[in-house]
Chains A and B, each alone.
Chain A
Amino acid sequence: QKEVEQNSGPLSVPEGAIASLNCTYSDRGSQSFFWYRQYSGKSPELIMFIYSNGDKEDGRFTAQLNKASQYVSLLIRDSQPSDSATYLCAVAGPPGGSYIPTFGRGTSLIVHP
């Protein structure tokens, strides 16, 4: 059984701080890693994906992957109240192919002014 674990939170950070969201996964064969954002009552939206060990930056977001430790994280710099949402981590097989992604249960982030 493939598992993706996330702390459900809520993670509360002040506006302007760095929010750090973490995810661990059980399947060592996982090759694709995704972060989705889901606002309350809305559908998930992909914000980052990463395949290789190391960091990937996109604006205020940085995804970090450590395959040896089976660990993925998402850093949000200069957090804004509009970042308040649930963040879903997902892992899957080879990039671009057919896959059944396994989602974590999500971490609720609250950015307070």
Chain B
Amino acid sequence: EAQVTQNPRYLITVTGKKLTVTCSQNMNHEYMSWYRQDPGLGLRQIYYSMNVEVTDKGDVPEGYKVSRKEKRNFPLILESPSPNQTSLYFCASRRTGKETQYFGPGTRLLVL
């Protein structure tokens, strides 16, 4: 089944404790991205990647890191999480040249 998976789905952590949210897709898509969704603010793009080893900042990259060492994986790293990073995070992928962007199921993060 074609899908985008994220882990963990739910995470409670404390300020400053490094964490990684994994994202994997099995559709051989070149383009992958991370979004956060907050009430009243909508979906905002954090980082995106056009292909392996090619990443770029989205609208709200501060406090986040990403890497794209393999085509299927695009982890999101929070080196020192803060409470303002409490949010719902979505990973997405699409094939270059195609419009349909497939979203993962989301990761709900709470930073205390």
Chain A residues with CB under 8 Å of chain B are 4, 32, 34, 42-46, 49, 88, 90, 95-96, 98, 100-106
Contacts and interface: CB of A to CB of B under 8 A. Distances in A.
Contacts of B97: 96
Contact of B42 (A42, A43, A46, A88): A88
Contact of B43 (A88, A95, A96): A88
Interface string B55-97: 0101100000000000000000000000000000010000011
B44 to A, nearest CB: 7
A17 B20 CA distance: 45
A101 B33 CA distance: 11
B103 A43 contact: yes
Is the contact region of chain B dominated by helix, strand, or loop, or is it mixed?
loop
Given A88-B43, A105-B42, A106-B42, A43 B105 contact: yes
B75 to A, nearest CB: 18
A60 B59 CA distance: 33
A42 B26 CA distance: 20
A5 B88 CA distance: 21
Contacts of A105: 40-42
Contact of A98 (B31, B41, B90, B100): B31
A44 B42 contact: no
Chain B contact residues (Cβ within 8 angstroms of A): what range? 20 to 34
B50 interface: yes
B99 A46 contact: yes
B45 A43 contact: no
B43 A49 contact: no
Nearest to B95: A96
B48 A44 contact: no
A53 B8 CA distance: 42
A49 B97 CA distance: 13
Contacts of A95: 99
A104 B42 contact: yes
Nearest to A49: B99
B106 A96 contact: no
